[in-house]
Amino acid sequence: MNQNSAVIFDMDGVICHTNPYHSLAFREFFLKRELQPTDEDFAQHMFGKSNSYILSHFLQRPVTGQELLELEDEKESLFRKIYEPHIDPIAGIVPFMDDLAAHNFKLGVATSAPFANLELILSKVGIRTKMGSILSSEDVKKHKPDPEVYLLSAKNLNVDPKNCIVFEDSFSGVSAALNAGMKVVGVLTSHTREELPPCQLYINDYSALKASDIIALL
């Protein structure tokens, strides 16, 4: 049965708890522009959002085209420099992925972050060979909450969307998975369960999670 089922992971806040370091990078980025967003601003307008949305929101004007590419590269380069010495997977995720693979689940990662960020994390966390699909912001035209990245993941894995379980930590990410017709496990690293759309299960980390728990959701 599980050969026809898949588990797809977002990256930020799901594989690694990167959001505090994104906040630091954005603070440095915006401080250069004499802007000082609050923690509440970041919670509402950064976590789970694409860089085009974040930059346009905080700069209060559309940011597109070549300018978007240049500003995004500046901010994400800051993030990678700040975060690289601190890369650490969320507790229990690697053994959990091993358990899923042992039970014949197909695995994928689907992030709104640029590929360079994903590549950095995959270079430090030993999960790359487990992934049958690896997608980042460059692979889609529409960002979460649009379901494109999850529907494309299901296609890559040759699994019906209704047989996919997604791990997400943000409102837009959970919404994207639900819009794709998938079941969702909410990872409570960035938000409380009350701040997320209804999920089938909620976790703080993966330390007590087993493949059997995912089988029970299908």
Could you tell me the pLDDT band of residue 44, with boundaries at 50, 70 and 90? confident
Q: Which of 36-45, 63-72, 129-138 is the least confident region?
A: 36-45
Q: Which amino acid is at 134?
A: I
Edge-to-edge, what's the strand order for the sheet holding 201-203?
133-135, 106-110, 6-9, 164-168, 183-187, 201-203
Q: What does the pLDDT average to over 108-133?
A: 95
Percent of all residues in the chain with a pLDDT value above 90, rounded to a whole number: 86
The three-state DSSP-derived secondary structure of 52-100 is HHHHHHHHCCCCCHHHHHHHHHHHHHHHHHHHHHHCCECCCHHHHHHHH
Query: How many CB atoms sit inside 10 A of residue 40's CB?
Result: 8
Higher pLDDT, 50 or 18: 18
pLDDT tens by residue, 67-76: 999 999 999 9
pTM reported for the whole predicted model:
0.91
Residue 39 pLDDT: 85
pLDDT tens by residue, 168-209: 999 999 999 999 999 999 999 989 999 999 999 999 999 999
Sequence-separated (6 or more) residues with CB below 8 Å from residue 56: 62, 63
Q: What is the DSSP letter of 33?
A: T
155 torsion bin: left (phi>0), alpha (psi -120 to 50), beta (else): alpha
Q: Is the pLDDT assigned to residue 34 strictly greater than 90?
A: yes
H or E, element range at 52: helix 51-59
Q: What does the pLDDT average to over 62-84?
A: 95
| Omega before residue 95 within 30° of 0, cis | no
Q: Is the pLDDT assigned to residue 48 strictly greater than 80?
A: no
Q: What does the pLDDT average to over 53-69?
A: 94
Residue 43 pLDDT: 82
Q: Which of 28-32, 42-46, 152-156, 183-187 is the least confident region?
A: 42-46
Could you tell me the pLDDT band of residue 1, with boundaries at 50, 70 and 90? low
